[in-house]
Amino acid sequence: MSLYIAVDIGGTQTRAACYPADSLKPVRLSRTTTHAADPTDQRTEPLERIQDLIASIWPKRDSVRAISVAAPGPTNPYSGVVYQAPNIPSWEDVPLRQSLQERFNVPVEVGNDANLAALCEWKFGAGHGHRHLVYLTISTGIGGGVIIDDKLLLGVHGLAAELGHTTVVYDGPVCSCGQRGHLEAVASGTALAHWVEDQLSQGSSSILPLHRRITARMISEAARKGDQLSLAALARAGCFIGCALASFLHIFNPTVVVIGGGVSRSGPLLLGPMYESMQEHVIDPHYLEDLKLTTAVFGDKAGLVGALALAHTLHP
Amino acid sequence: MSLYIAVDIGGTQTRAACYPADSLKPVRLSRTTTHAADPTDQRTEPLERIQDLIASIWPKRDSVRAISVAAPGPTNPYSGVVYQAPNIPSWEDVPLRQSLQERFNVPVEVGNDANLAALCEWKFGAGHGHRHLVYLTISTGIGGGVIIDDKLLLGVHGLAAELGHTTVVYDGPVCSCGQRGHLEAVASGTALAHWVEDQLSQGSSSILPLHRRITARMISEAARKGDQLSLAALARAGCFIGCALASFLHIFNPTVVVIGGGVSRSGPLLLGPMYESMQEHVIDPHYLEDLKLTTAVFGDKAGLVGALALAHTLHP
């Protein structure tokens, strides 16, 4: 039997799984912390830890057709170089493909995790059967992936589809990237939390605690209990995302928009205002014709199954 | 010999030209006003006038391989239906391809003029040899066209690449489409003129006349003479366009950006601030690697030659 090995490198945790060529069910799955938790750990470098993790699930009898990796940052899928990984500060221009190819001697593919999540939803999930897909993942940051005519939008260095880093509020709040007014700066989980903290410190009433670090999850839970400030925060983020989605409809004219990421699990409290805002901001009803707006199917498995989808596509 | 007929329907003027299969030089070229100037004109409907124009240049001996038309508004290139044409109010869902096919009995292709201008610059002009191109035309409005992996970005109904209708200033000035804060609403020729008129009425000093309709051309000329208000207006528009271009780099990661349209002829006074702003707003220098920023080659022939490029592509 011939197997694929898929790897999802997260900021905190890295997972690797071994899949038969015709299945989404891994025959072997293992995980490790991306950074050594214990300073006496022999393997402290994330790259070494990833290699060990792959070795630990390497099949004894079966052959490996390809290794495919979802990387947590801007990545060049042609050269296999990870330009940056926000949660792995030591990574800059890391030749991930080359390192793994030298160590394991099988074909290696590398992609950006949000792009691969889009590929995953298109191939196996919420966007199956659609030729034009826009995927947005809303968590700490906002990532994107786009399928055009059944192909992943990559651009010349594979840096396309950074939908979270499009300016929506000119000269607006500072983004994680240092620029201002990006979608991520006004509607990510981090932006939600900042806004609520600001409102609390200005005296807004809420069941959320003053002078403590607020998270998007806390806001989501408070909103479900009817907390007005939290509801307003989600509605506000939904408005911005809906407005940006309208721009993405004008740019891509897709048939499906898939929303993933932790914050999207706030459900209708975020997605309702988002959908309304998208409809309000569209310039022509033709953009809404045959358009499906839906949530992602794969949740936090999107990176892993996305890496598998990439392997399927390139090494069928 | 086998010929192509290309047609460019403008708001004011419509042109048609007859091209040999291997040349960009028309063997026959004719034009007419899109609307009947004379009310006693027998042919008052734009569609009839276009048909007559095509008939007037129809070759006597040679055969016509295809007719290809650049339409001035959102157009479905698959069905050949023009959804709208801002300057032809009577046009709504006009089956342009079908009408012309029935009349002339040859294959007919229809495309949006900005998309075809992008195709034209990619195939024959400033973007030749590039696989990933972003084209922006800045005139009364702002239009766009995108080439990805040597293919025009169309989306499911051909409504993609409406780059002028992406939100840059959330809740900003009203756009021609009725929405707010689009790139077109803050940086088109119309937006330039509005801003200058506003500043004049608020007492800004300028060589431009108060209480008269200002045009982008007047601003451009005044700026060349050193008029500070006009220079500020062009710099301001350049800033917005540069910021939007940075977003488009993050979205498409192209190797070339081509700027066309009448307003772009203001030259460095607009393009300088635009370029600076684009560089400032980019999140990662990799987006600027191997990136060429250039002006369009074809000027007001872009629609006509774009229609020809489409015919070449689909009926080689």
For A252, the enclosing helix (H) or strand (E) is helix A228-252
- At A110-122, the pLDDT tens digits run 999 999 999 999 9
**Would you call A157 and B253 a contact, using CB atoms and an 8 Å cutoff?**
yes
pLDDT band at A86 (very low <50, low <70, confident <90, very high): confident
The pLDDT assigned to A87 comes to 85
- At B115-151, the pLDDT tens digits run 999 999 999 999 999 999 999 999 999 999 999 999 9
The pLDDT assigned to A36 comes to 85
> DSSP labels for B263-280?
GGGGTHHHHHHHHHHHHH
Decide if pLDDT at B102 tops 90: yes
How do beta strands B108-112 and B63-71 pair? parallel
What residues in A contact B252, CB-CB < 8 Å?
153, 155, 160
Q: CB distance from A179 to chain B under 8 Å? A: yes
Please check whether residue B4 is in contact with residue B65, taking contact to mean a CB–CB distance below 8 angstroms: yes
What residues in A contact B156, CB-CB < 8 Å?
131-132, 253-255, 290
Judging by beta carbons within 10 Å of its beta carbon (0-12, 13-18, 19+), is residue B12 exposed, middle or buried?
exposed
Decide if pLDDT at B284 tops 80: yes
DSSP structural state of residue A164: G
The pLDDT assigned to B186 comes to 98
Q: Which residue has the tokens 């002009």?
A: B125
Residue B250 tokens read as 């993050």
How do beta strands A81-84 and A28-33 pair? unpaired
> In terms of Cα–Cα distance, which of A3, A99, A12 is closest to A57?
A3
pTM: 0.96
pLDDT band at B288 (very low <50, low <70, confident <90, very high): very high
- At B12-71, the pLDDT tens digits run 899 999 999 999 999 999 999 998 877 677 678 899 999 999 999 999 999 999 999 999
DSSP structural state of residue B175: P
Judging by beta carbons within 10 Å of its beta carbon (0-12, 13-18, 19+), is residue A84 exposed, middle or buried?
middle
CA atoms within 13 A on the CB side of B201: 10
Q: Tell me what the mean pLDDT of segment A212-230 comes to.
A: 96
d(CA A277, CA A271): 10
Virtual CA dihedral for B154, B156, B157, B159, nearest 10 degrees?
Answer: -40
User: Ramachandran region of residue A227, left (φ > 0), alpha (ψ -120 to 50) or beta?
Assistant: beta
How many Å from the N-terminal Cα to the C-terminal Cα in chain B?
14
The pLDDT assigned to A37 comes to 77
Please check whether residue B312 is in contact with residue B123, taking contact to mean a CB–CB distance below 8 angstroms: yes
The pLDDT assigned to A58 comes to 97
d(CA A191, CA A184): 7
- At B260-283, the pLDDT tens digits run 999 988 899 999 999 999 999 999
Mutate to test the interface with B, among A284, A290, A291 (most CBs of B within 10 A): A284
Mutate to test the interface with B, among A94, A150, A165 (most CBs of B within 10 A): A165
Please check whether residue A55 is in contact with residue A19, taking contact to mean a CB–CB distance below 8 angstroms: no
In chain B, which ranges are continuous DSSP H helix? 46-57, 96-104, 113-124, 183-187, 189-201, 216-224, 228-252, 268-281, 302-314
The pLDDT assigned to A44 comes to 80
d(CA A283, CA B83): 12
What residues in A contact B131, CB-CB < 8 Å?
156
**Would you call A284 and B84 a contact, using CB atoms and an 8 Å cutoff?**
yes
d(CA A284, CA A243): 14
How many percent of chain A have pLDDT more than 90?
A: 89
d(CA B235, CA B229): 10
How many percent of chain A have pLDDT more than 70?
A: 99
Residue A297 tokens read as 């199917």
> DSSP labels for B130-154?
-SSEEEEEESSSEEEEEEETTEE--
> In terms of Cα–Cα distance, which of A50, A142, A119 is closest to A88?
A50
Q: Which residue has the tokens 């990805």?
A: B148
State CA B42 to chain mean position distance: 30
Beta carbon pairs, A and B, within 8 Å: 134
pLDDT band at A16 (very low <50, low <70, confident <90, very high): very high
- A262 vs A228, higher pLDDT: A228
Please check whether residue A30 is in contact with residue A49, taking contact to mean a CB–CB distance below 8 angstroms: no
Please check whether residue A100 is in contact with residue A86, taking contact to mean a CB–CB distance below 8 angstroms: no
What residues in B contact A74, CB-CB < 8 Å?
284, 286
> In terms of Cα–Cα distance, which of B106, B99, B111 is closest to B51?
B99
d(CA A176, CA A12): 18
Q: State the ipTM, two decimals.
A: 0.96
Please check whether residue A296 is in contact with residue A259, taking contact to mean a CB–CB distance below 8 angstroms: yes
What are the CA-CA distances from residue B133 to residues A1, A54, A171, B42, B184 (Å)? 43, 39, 27, 44, 20
Q: What residues contact residue B205 under an 8 Å CB cut-off, 6+ apart? A: B228, B229
- Which of A74, A251, A286 minimises the CB distance to B157? A286
- At A188-215, the pLDDT tens digits run 999 999 999 999 999 999 999 988 899 9
The full length of chain B comes to 316
Amino acid at A167: T
Three-state DSSP class for residue A15: strand
The nearest CA of chain B is from the CA of A184 a distance in Å of 12
DSSP structural state of residue A209: P
For A:191-230, CB contacts with B below 8 A are none
How many Å from the N-terminal Cα to the C-terminal Cα in chain A?
14
DSSP structural state of residue A62: S
The pLDDT assigned to B181 comes to 98
Cross-strand pairs, B182: B167
What residues in A contact B149, CB-CB < 8 Å?
151
Three-state DSSP class for residue A306: helix
Backbone angles phi, psi at A288, to 5 degrees: -95, -10
User: Ramachandran region of residue A273, left (φ > 0), alpha (ψ -120 to 50) or beta?
Assistant: alpha
Q: Tell me what the mean pLDDT of segment B205-220 comes to.
A: 94
Decide if pLDDT at A43 tops 90: no
Cross-strand pairs, B134: B146, B257
Average pLDDT over chain A reads 95
> In terms of Cα–Cα distance, which of B110, B2, B139, B4 is closest to B47?
B110
**Would you call A252 and B154 a contact, using CB atoms and an 8 Å cutoff?**
no
d(CA B96, CA B83): 10
How many percent of chain B have pLDDT more than 70?
A: 99
d(CA A119, CA A141): 19
The three-state DSSP-derived secondary structure of B229-249 is HHHHHHHHHHHHHHHHHHHHH
Q: What residues contact residue A291 under an 8 Å CB cut-off, 6+ apart? A: A249, A254, A255, A256, A257
The pLDDT assigned to A67 comes to 98
Residue B89 CB: number of other CB atoms within 10 A?
Answer: 9
Please check whether residue B105 is in contact with residue B67, taking contact to mean a CB–CB distance below 8 angstroms: no
